[in-house]
Amino acid sequence: MSDVTEHSSEGVPYPVLVRQHVWESLVSMLRVYSHAASLNGQELVVTGISDEAWVKCHGCALSLSFRSETGEATWRVTQPDLETWGEFRIEEDGTLNFPAGPKQLDTAAIDWVEHLVRAASPAADEHLGHPLRIS
Query: Is the CB of residue 75 less than 8 Å from the CB of residue 85?
Result: yes
**Average pLDDT of the chain to the nearest whole number:** 85
**Residue 122 pLDDT grade (very low, low, confident, very high; cuts 50, 70, 90):** low
Q: Which residue has the higher pLDDT, 130 or 36?
A: 36
* pLDDT of 131 above 60: no
Collapse the DSSP code of 56 into the 3-class scheme (helix H, G, I; strand E, B; otherwise coil) and give the result.
Answer: strand
- Note the pTM of the prediction, 2 decimals: 0.81
Distance CA 3, CA 48 (A): 35
DSSP state, residue 88: E
- Give the count of beta carbons closer than 10 Å to the beta carbon of residue 122: 5
- Show Cβ contacts of residue 3 under 8 Å, excluding neighbours closer than 6 positions: none
Amino acid (1-letter code) at residue 78: T
